[in-house]
Chain A
């Protein structure tokens, strides 16, 4: 079986500035893969490249064996890859229920339908209710997303990301800015919701990374310097020097 995500020799330049240099990364099916690295290493850019938000200057990206580099975000999403955002990115004026339901509509095959009543679609209703239940926001279903607390918005963000049923889920710093208790809750949520799917996660909180990931890749100045199991990464001298070492000081 081909890898869930396969990145080969990807480069990204903004003008003359190379942000991503010779990036190679492989994420196996069903794996929980964390990308770590210091600020400005290009983690979010890597996410944007994979999800189609920006196009690579060179190289190729494959999803389940098919080339997706150069495709638009919605085309990549339809092929089964869904991502969250570091800065909360929800539909602020719409209710929590509407937010999740919109994320369910394409996947349930309703596309641009203008001849169906959206309230009378049983599978959409069930799936939306199920996801609201999963992210513990059922009691807030009628509240506009913009009025949720920060932690609730982060949970909604994850809910929107998984709602379409994509088999590759990418989460960009899902616990950023959360308290310790909220982080624990979020990690349990992520673990449960991505069961049986491939997960790629960017995270700064090392306890989250080492607790959640099967494999870890370390990104420094747009280049992966090491990729392996948590133990291998912990023991890797290059990683200690470039990244973990700084944290220890």
Chain B
């Protein structure tokens, strides 16, 4: 056996340990989280984040893995939700022996069934054609849902009672904690399944189709079939996410399958970073958290989403995951310490710039919206009155001053980065 233990095998073993380690840490984190943060609000947040993770990962099967830009992915999410609600009501009405934890599967089947139905025509072409058809199908289904009242329940949607289903392990799934664990379980299972999918022959060929569909035809594969498979899987997992949402809120309505929802998942995946499997996970966490947090703080939260999105597209097209991963060669080469000081120096004026932008937006928004009440903006505990000129002046100083200083420090970051990258290149960690 001595001969067999080559450095290659050792490398493989250690990467396997690291690989299973990551999943184990994730599972433990999901179990422990509600014990640490046990308030009702955080339980609700965690539940929504879990669902958002599944949904964003399913979207990335299309965008990141196969190169399909969909504007109507929420259709599968929403239809999954509706099928799950109908399944729950049917189980409760006929006393069927199906406990609640199996309901998300019905959601998945709903998403998959619709993907099988429309997918073959949709995936004939990639690129703009696919994007436009997905937009059209999304609008079609969303508007049909308001017309077909018996199936979709019109504007009010269809409600259900998750506690009316047979209990499992003595759990009624009434308390949010039990629902959280149900969602956490499905998040874990779905994430592992979607990761495993990327490691199969089909998953690899999806990447090949993304990179170069023309060439794929000359190594024996029909890119149309590959895209169709990817579309089916994406629909299935989106349906599971929709099913979980239906369980969480005990309702399914037409908002689930509309353009807003489709936009949000594109947004999550892109902000997180579509080039890495874990990117959409980060994006889903951040976007859900911001969505829940910002709606309480400001009326113009969509504006901030837009700014973040534009910022990512322009300055970090690889998303958060891309930003993190460019540091990997520096860490390996041990030259990360060369860039950290420049980051810290740049952080201060950049923060001032960000605060200035926030103050400007809030000042304008509140001044325009309501004369009189609600004019006090609390920023870092300091109250600013939107009607006072001083506030406008402070905002302007922060924006312009912050920008001018930040620009100098960003140049320093770039220089430090060049030096660190040169070291990494010399040591062979960067191509």
Residues in A lying within 8 Å of B, measured CB to CB: 51-52, 72-74, 77-78, 82-83, 85, 89-94, 98, 101-103, 105-107, 110-119, 121, 143-144, 147, 160-161, 163-164
A20–B220 CA distance with the chains assembled, in angstroms: 26
Name the distance in Å between B108's Cβ and chain A's nearest Cβ.
Answer: 15
A94 close to B207 (CB less than 8 A): yes
B14: interface (CB < 8 Å): no
B197: nearest chain-A partner, CB-CB = A114
Given contacts A102-B208, A112-B225, contact A82 B203 (CB under 8 A): no
A73–B214 CA distance with the chains assembled, in angstroms: 9
Which of B202, B210, B211, B219 touches A164 (beta carbons < 8 Å)? B219
CB-defined contacts of A72 to chain B, threshold 8 Å: 217, 222
A114–B225 CA distance with the chains assembled, in angstroms: 13
B218 close to A83 (CB less than 8 A): yes
Which of B200, B222, B431 touches A116 (beta carbons < 8 Å)? B200
Which of B197, B205, B214, B233 touches A102 (beta carbons < 8 Å)? B205
A73 close to B201 (CB less than 8 A): no
A104: nearest chain-B partner, CB-CB = B219
Name the distance in Å between B211's Cβ and chain A's nearest Cβ.
Answer: 4
B220 close to A94 (CB less than 8 A): no
Name the distance in Å between A213's Cβ and chain B's nearest Cβ.
Answer: 23
A173–B21 CA distance with the chains assembled, in angstroms: 49
B23: interface (CB < 8 Å): no
A98 close to B204 (CB less than 8 A): yes
A78–B218 CA distance with the chains assembled, in angstroms: 9
Given contacts A112-B202, A117-B199, contact A73 B218 (CB under 8 A): yes
CB-defined contacts of A93 to chain B, threshold 8 Å: 207, 210-211
Given contacts A73-B217, A74-B218, A107-B220, contact A113 B212 (CB under 8 A): no
- How many residue pairs, one in A and one in B, have C-beta atoms under 8 Å apart? 101
Query: Top 3 A-B pairs ranked by shortest CB distance?
Result: A106-B220, A73-B217, A91-B211
A85–B220 CA distance with the chains assembled, in angstroms: 15
CB-defined contacts of B217 to chain A, threshold 8 Å: 52, 72-74, 77
A94–B211 CA distance with the chains assembled, in angstroms: 8
A139–B205 CA distance with the chains assembled, in angstroms: 23
Which of B200, B205, B208, B225 touches A117 (beta carbons < 8 Å)? B200
CB-defined contacts of B233 to chain A, threshold 8 Å: 114
Chain B, 179-201, CB within 8 A of any chain A CB: 196-197, 199-201
A112–B231 CA distance with the chains assembled, in angstroms: 14
CB-defined contacts of B221 to chain A, threshold 8 Å: 74, 106, 112
Which of A89, A105, A114 touches B215 (beta carbons < 8 Å)? A89
CB-defined contacts of B69 to chain A, threshold 8 Å: none
CB-defined contacts of A111 to chain B, threshold 8 Å: 201
CB-defined contacts of A110 to chain B, threshold 8 Å: 201
B208 close to A94 (CB less than 8 A): yes
Which of B196, B202, B215, B220 touches A91 (beta carbons < 8 Å)? B215
10 examples of A-B residue contacts, CB within 8 angstroms: A74-B219, A74-B221, A77-B219, A102-B205, A106-B219, A112-B201, A114-B200, A116-B201, A118-B200, A118-B201
Which of B200, B212, B225 touches A115 (beta carbons < 8 Å)? B200
Name the distance in Å between B11's Cβ and chain A's nearest Cβ.
Answer: 11
B212 close to A114 (CB less than 8 A): no
B204 close to A102 (CB less than 8 A): yes
B226: interface (CB < 8 Å): yes
A160 close to B200 (CB less than 8 A): no
B270: interface (CB < 8 Å): no
Chain B, 253-280, CB within 8 A of any chain A CB: none
CB-defined contacts of B215 to chain A, threshold 8 Å: 85, 89-91, 160
A180–B24 CA distance with the chains assembled, in angstroms: 55
B106: interface (CB < 8 Å): no
A107–B220 CA distance with the chains assembled, in angstroms: 8
A73–B216 CA distance with the chains assembled, in angstroms: 9
A113 close to B200 (CB less than 8 A): yes
CB-defined contacts of A116 to chain B, threshold 8 Å: 200-201
Name the distance in Å between A202's Cβ and chain B's nearest Cβ.
Answer: 16
B229: interface (CB < 8 Å): yes
A115–B193 CA distance with the chains assembled, in angstroms: 10
B218 close to A118 (CB less than 8 A): no
Given contacts A51-B218, A83-B218, contact A118 B225 (CB under 8 A): no
CB-defined contacts of B210 to chain A, threshold 8 Å: 93
Which of A73, A89, A118, A143 touches B204 (beta carbons < 8 Å)? A118
A114–B194 CA distance with the chains assembled, in angstroms: 11
B204 close to A105 (CB less than 8 A): yes
B207 close to A98 (CB less than 8 A): yes
B204 close to A82 (CB less than 8 A): no
Given contacts A91-B207, A94-B208, contact A112 B218 (CB under 8 A): no
